[in-house]
Amino acid sequence: MRPVGSSARRIDPRRPASIGPSGLRRIVLGGSEGERSAATLAPAPTASKPLRSAGPFARCVLVVAHADRGALDDHAREVVAAAAVLAEPDCEVVVAVLGACQDDAATWGIDRMLVHSAFDPEAYQPDVAVCWMLELQRLFNPAQWLLADRGADGDLGRRFSVAAGLSVACHVVELSRARLRVRAAGGFDALARPTAVMLLERGVARAALPFVGLGRQGTPPAWPQTPPAAGVDDLGLQAGDPELQSLEEADLILAAGNGVTDVALFNALASALGAATGASRVAVDDGRFPRAKQIGATGKTVSASGYLALGISGAMQHLQGIKDCRHVIAVNRDAAAPIARRAALTVVEDSGTLMRALLDQVRQQRGRA
């Protein structure tokens, strides 16, 4: 084992990995066997799994996450899984959620879930959220805090660690009870001891656990009534131009394949939906879309919440590029196209016909609004 503070060559957390009995992903150097992503693997039925711990609990580990459309997203679930795997029998896994959340807490290894369903995701209130976490600190005095190192969760974790005077580790790509591996510069990872606040990147743990939690529902502390930050005027959220956003960061992507011949109609639909646009390699090679729009193993890997694939058959290279997308909808005249096996919903229809119908529907709804 290397001494604390030393460095080790970086290991890509998305490389093929095997899942050990504890539920942690193990990457074998030079190996090519195992799964590449656990995002699409559903957990086994709760009834068939043992309870991680029935208590009594002497301490707790606390995970904080923003809800995504009424649920925890894949990244947040991986953070919860990491907390559950590392928690000892006398340690309770508590998850505090900002926003409405309908998830089955027990399935994801949660012992107690505190849901602040009245949280307004469109209001700029990071200072108030920090005060709320300080109250959680007073009530629970957790042994450790875990958050996803992305977006609002990562920002909140950094702000809280400063306000509470707690040590923090960012860009954590691997962890155990005794050691952390954090992403550093120059192709190397740094090794360090666990800190009070840890911000985890994707792939640290598999969301599908071999056990369940108690799944109890708790009452979160009241939302602090504090004045807005001095010098900050909250103008609310404003939608930006999706075409100016990188595909890797897009939340909704409309992708075209060989079956899309009317590019003008495709772009009009994407604009009406507020979606970023992408394309398969075939559509790019034909000159219908620029190379920067190509999605797949030889293009860009995306992780959108919604991915609408129009006229894309689903070659292996393309499926590798969308493996981290949350909801995939495929539109194809061939019901047996490979992408149908990846999609949550497949519409057997000509892509042009569906685009025209969908565009008319969107315009009608906007007219009524």
Domain at 330, CATH number: 3.40.50.1220
Of 37-51, 53-67, 100-114, which gets the smallest average pLDDT? 37-51
Q: Do the domain assignments include residue 254?
A: yes
Give me the domain span that covers residue 282.
247-364
- Segment 306-356, tens digit of pLDDT: 999 999 999 999 999 998 898 999 999 998 899 999 999 999 999 999 999
Residue (of 360, 273, 261) closest to 308 by Cα position: 273
What pLDDT does 38 receive? 39
**What distance in Å separates the CA atoms of residue 18 and residue 24, rounded to the nearest whole number?**
8
**Confidence at 23, pLDDT banded by 50, 70, 90:** low
Total of domains in the chain: 2
Do 161 and 30 belong together in one domain?
yes
**What distance in Å separates the CA atoms of residue 132 and residue 96, rounded to the nearest whole number?**
10
Q: Do the domain assignments include residue 237?
A: no
Of 53-62, 89-98, 231-240, 335-344, which gets the smallest average pLDDT? 231-240
Do 179 and 296 belong together in one domain?
no
What pLDDT does 125 receive? 83
The distance from CA 264 to its chain's CA centroid, rounded to whole angstroms, is 32
Do 200 and 295 belong together in one domain?
no
Do 188 and 310 belong together in one domain?
no
What pLDDT does 47 receive? 60
Indicate whether 200 pLDDT > 70: yes
Q: Do the domain assignments include residue 344?
A: yes
Indicate whether 241 pLDDT > 50: yes
Q: Do the domain assignments include residue 235?
A: no
Do 41 and 189 belong together in one domain?
yes
Do 137 and 257 belong together in one domain?
no
Q: Do the domain assignments include residue 35?
A: yes
What pLDDT does 123 receive? 79
Which residues, other chains included, contact 119 with Cβ-Cβ below 8 Å and sequence gap of 6+?
66, 67, 98, 99, 223
**Confidence at 39, pLDDT banded by 50, 70, 90:** very low
What pLDDT does 36 receive? 47
**Confidence at 41, pLDDT banded by 50, 70, 90:** very low
Do 138 and 282 belong together in one domain?
no
**Confidence at 126, pLDDT banded by 50, 70, 90:** confident
What pLDDT does 120 receive? 84
Angle of helix 351-368 versus helix 263-273 axis, rounded to 10: 40
What pLDDT does 46 receive? 55
What pLDDT does 18 receive? 59
- Segment 247-305, tens digit of pLDDT: 988 889 999 999 999 999 999 999 999 999 999 999 999 899 999 999 998 899 998 98
- Segment 75-125, tens digit of pLDDT: 999 999 999 999 999 999 999 999 999 999 999 999 999 999 888 887 778
| CATH number for the domain harbouring residue 23 | 3.40.50.620
**What distance in Å separates the CA atoms of residue 127 and residue 259, rounded to the nearest whole number?**
49
Do 155 and 260 belong together in one domain?
no
Domain end point (choices 180, 197, 218): 218
| Integer angstrom CA distances of residue 233 from 121, 122, 156, 236 | 16, 13, 19, 9
Do 204 and 253 belong together in one domain?
no
Q: Do the domain assignments include residue 87?
A: yes
Do 31 and 161 belong together in one domain?
yes
Do 169 and 38 belong together in one domain?
yes
Do 348 and 279 belong together in one domain?
yes
Q: Do the domain assignments include residue 116?
A: yes
Indicate whether 368 pLDDT > 80: no
Query: For residue 56, is the peptide bond before it cis, meaning its omega torsion is within 30 degrees of 0?
Result: yes
Indicate whether 183 pLDDT > 60: yes
Q: Do the domain assignments include residue 239?
A: no
To the nearest whole number, what is the mean pLDDT of the chain?
86
- Segment 143-157, tens digit of pLDDT: 999 999 998 999 999
Which residues, other chains included, contact 53 with Cβ-Cβ below 8 Å and sequence gap of 6+?
87, 89, 90, 91, 111
What pLDDT does 246 receive? 85
Two tokens, residue 291: 């190379």
What pLDDT does 229 receive? 63
